[in-house]
Structure 1
Amino acid sequence: MTPAARLSAAMDVLDRVAAGGNAEQALTQWARASRFAGSGDRAAVRDLVFTALRRRHSHAALGGGESGRALILGALREAGTDPAALFTGEAHAPAPLSAQETAHLARPVALEGTVALDCPDWLAPQLQASLGADFAPVMQALRDRAPVYLRVNTARGDRAAAQASLAAEGIATRPAPLAETALEVTGNERRIRNAQAYRDGLVELQDAASQALVAALPVRPGQRVLDYCAGGGGKVLALAARARQQLFAHDADPGRMRDLPARAARAGTEVQLLTGPEAAARGPYDLVLLDVPCSGSGAWRRAPEAKWRLTPERLRDLQEIQSEVLDKTMSYVAPGGCLAYATCSVIEAENGARIKAFLAAHPDWRCSFQRRFTPLEGGDGFYLALLTRR
């Protein structure tokens, strides 16, 4: 594909996302329908799409609209690239610029405030109150692509061994300071899933802040541990590497856990998958981890369309769900056990505010630990609170 044809493909995918589609699914659909596109083409189109979504506010201002075409025009303008040389209409290139587009591109555009930070206007006051002086730097960080991190499975080997194995296959890494198990991939990340270290369960893809969150959990050998909102199971697998425990996983959508048994086998451990009634019946547990449904604001670099689809109503609904999950699972915790509440959000209403509300309603519980991670530390934004009965 020519560079111009890649722009056309990205515009098409962006229009599908604007119509309500999921970015990953839209990219997959385009790739399946475009068998002529090589791996380099697919990677280039993906980068164009995700950059435009992360920077939708500013690219719309620069490009003169929110269509896929306008967002790509905004991206080219930001990069200092003359679109006229690419928008020729020839050989799958975008159609030539209209007079209106040419006029807009000729006018100066001052990017300020929430537009410059690519922050949803309605959410800016909450994010400012939540992040304080870190508001602008965090929002700026969320405009860029997230680093790729690996978790070293210490049940299989140490970080040095993992680095050496990856390096032998041309994958460059460096230790990440957030967690002792974390490696940041600095070269040839697309080779990871075929690497021997990955196939043998020595490394797993996992964000560095997510690893640091797991490292902060109180873990002892022989514990019964339930990951109640397990998703794909990355955190429960990280827990398995810390100590030999009896591990259980549940998710409201069991389909998210379909790969977990195979991943656990590759990592050299076992995780029992439970339905909702089974999770309640198999208790109590020494540790219950709740990575609750949330806005995902700390991970907007990875799922940028979520930034623009979040609404005040949806945020309120999420807070209700978070409180309901806390109230439901506190009875699952054994005496002396711990209820660990986590989000991948940087919004205080989903984090400390939920813990304050829980403690006010349940004075027999206390919070023994809180920690907030932001993208300024390298990984995604996360929040963790450890709750125990008094």
Structure 2
Amino acid sequence: MTPAARLAAAIDLLDAILAGAPAERVLTNWGRSNRFAGSGDRAAVRDLVFDALRCRGSFAALGGGLTGRGLMLGLCRAEGRDPEALFTGLGHAPAPLAAAEKAHLAAPAPAPEELRASDWPNWLLPQLRTDLGADFAPVSARMQARAPVFLRVNTAKTTRDAAQAALAAEGIETAPHPLAATALEVSSGARKLSKSHAYETGLVELQDAASQAMLALMPLAPGARVLDYCAGGGGKALALAAACPEAKITAHDIDAARMRDIAPRAKRAGARITLAQPGQVTGTFDLVLVDAPCSGSGTWRRAPEAKWALTPARLAELTALQGEILARAAGFVAPGGRLCYMTCSLLAVENEAQVAAFTAQGLWHSLRALRLTPCEGGDGFFGAVLARV
């Protein structure tokens, strides 16, 4: 496919997504029905679509409208590419520019700070400006770009240096990342990861560097009983098992289907993790981790579709749920144990405010907390370690 044909494909896909179809489904169906598109073409079109979703507001402003065509015109303008050289109508290229489009593209662009702000949901802007303070502008800029690919080295099987060497031998270049002693940032060869020997034998796992940094907060001792109360796919349970192989890890989630990958991942990693079915956790634990359901605002450059789907009502539902989950999980903490609350959110209402509301009851106090934004390189994360008063 030519660059122009890729743009045309992305325009059609974006129109379907803007009409309400899930992005992943749209991309999967397009790949299946366009077998002529090679893996490079599919990857390139996917990148165009997700770049447009990530920068939906600024691309629409630059390109002249919230349509697939407007977003791709905005992308060309943002990247300094000549739209007239690509929008020719020849072959599989998009139709030539209309007079109104040419006039819009020739007009002065909005100020950079205005463009960055437009890539957040408008209703959320006041809250983000308050919560991020001086970090608002740099975080907004970071969130417009693709997220790095990070790996967690499985220290139960290897060292970071040895994992780097093994990956390099398979054409995957990495560099240590300062957020965590187990973190590697992939600089090239990311698409080879899933079939690499290093991945298949459990030397490395995909995990954001900020998520890995949060795990360093947690007090772990040999033989500790640990409950990952909202385990999902088990990424944090696996990291805890690698950090302390002697710990007894139990993973639980209210939706058992979310945990279906834990067993094969644990086998690959050489970890022992017990699965507790929904509502069937028994006993108490030295450490209870609550990686609570949240807006995911710290990860929106990875999942930009979620950014535009969040509503005030949904955020209110999430904050209420977070308080309920914290209260339930606290009941599983053994005397002298610790409760760790965590989200991948940038919003204080899901982070500091939740901890403040929970500790205001007088039964728990916060020992330490950590807030990370994409300015540190990884996703946005918050974590707090709590103890009984």
Shorter-chain TM-score tier:
over 0.9
Pairwise CA RMSD = 1.3
1:265 aligns with 267
Q: Give the Cα–Cα distance (whole angstroms) in 2 for the partners of residues 15 and 227 of structure 1.
A: 40
Does 2:109 correspond to 1:109?
yes
| SS of alignment partner, residue 360 of structure 2 | helix
Which of 273, 278, 284 matches 2:280? Answer: 278
Structure 1 residues 147-226: aligned runs within 5 Å: 147-226=148-227
The number of residue pairs the alignment matches comes to 387
Q: Which moved more, 1:126-135 or 1:20-29?
A: 20-29
**Deviation of 1:128 (Å):** 1.5
Contact 1:114 1:124 in 2 (8 A): no
Q: Give the Cα–Cα distance (whole angstroms) in 2 for the partners of residues 22 and 283 of structure 1.
A: 40
Letter in 1 for 2:7: L
**Deviation of 1:114 (Å):** 4.5
Q: Which moved more, 1:21-30 or 1:167-176?
A: 21-30
Letter in 2 for 1:267: A
2:373 aligns with 374
**Deviation of 1:81 (Å):** 1.6
Cα–Cα, structure 1 residues 387 and 306, in superposed 2: closer, same or farther, change >3 Å?
same
**Deviation of 1:109 (Å):** 2.4
**Deviation of 1:291 (Å):** 0.8
2:357 aligns with 357
Contact 1:114 1:121 in 2 (8 A): no
Letter in 1 for 2:312: P
1:251 aligns with 253
1:98 aligns with 98
| SS of alignment partner, residue 250 of structure 2 | strand
Q: Give the Cα–Cα distance (whole angstroms) in 2 for the partners of residues 96 and 377 of structure 1.
A: 42
| SS of alignment partner, residue 279 of structure 2 | helix
Structure 1 residues 328-367: aligned runs within 5 Å: 328-361=328-361, 363-367=362-366
Q: Give the Cα–Cα distance (whole angstroms) in 1 for the partners of residues 278 and 116 of structure 2.
A: 44
| SS of alignment partner, residue 220 of structure 1 | coil
Q: Over residues 212-236 of structure 1, what are the superposed CA-to-partner deviations in whole Å (9 max), with x where a residue is unaligned? A: 1112111111122111111211110
2:134 aligns with 133
Letter in 1 for 2:131: S
Q: Which moved more, 1:343-352 or 1:299-308?
A: 299-308
Q: Give the Cα–Cα distance (whole angstroms) in 2 for the partners of residues 194 and 212 of structure 1.
A: 26
Identity of aligned residues (%): 59
Q: Which moved more, 1:14-23 or 1:368-377?
A: 14-23
Contact 2:171 2:189 in 1 (8 A): yes
**Deviation of 1:46 (Å):** 1.3
1:86 aligns with 86
Q: Give the Cα–Cα distance (whole angstroms) in 1 for the partners of residues 340 and 114 of structure 2.
A: 33
Q: Which moved more, 1:307-316 or 1:352-361?
A: 307-316
| SS of alignment partner, residue 283 of structure 1 | coil
| SS of alignment partner, residue 73 of structure 2 | helix
Q: Give the Cα–Cα distance (whole angstroms) in 1 for the partners of residues 287 and 131 of structure 2.
A: 28
Cα–Cα, structure 1 residues 270 and 19, in superposed 2: closer, same or farther, change >3 Å?
farther
Q: Give the Cα–Cα distance (whole angstroms) in 2 for the partners of residues 204 and 302 of structure 1.
A: 17
**Deviation of 1:16 (Å):** 2.4
| SS of alignment partner, residue 278 of structure 1 | coil
1:296 aligns with 296
1:146 aligns with 147
Q: Which moved more, 1:103-112 or 1:338-347?
A: 103-112
Q: Give the Cα–Cα distance (whole angstroms) in 1 for the partners of residues 363 and 90 of structure 2.
A: 70
Gaps of 5+ in 1: none
Q: Give the Cα–Cα distance (whole angstroms) in 2 for the partners of residues 32 and 247 of structure 1.
A: 40
**Deviation of 1:26 (Å):** 2.2
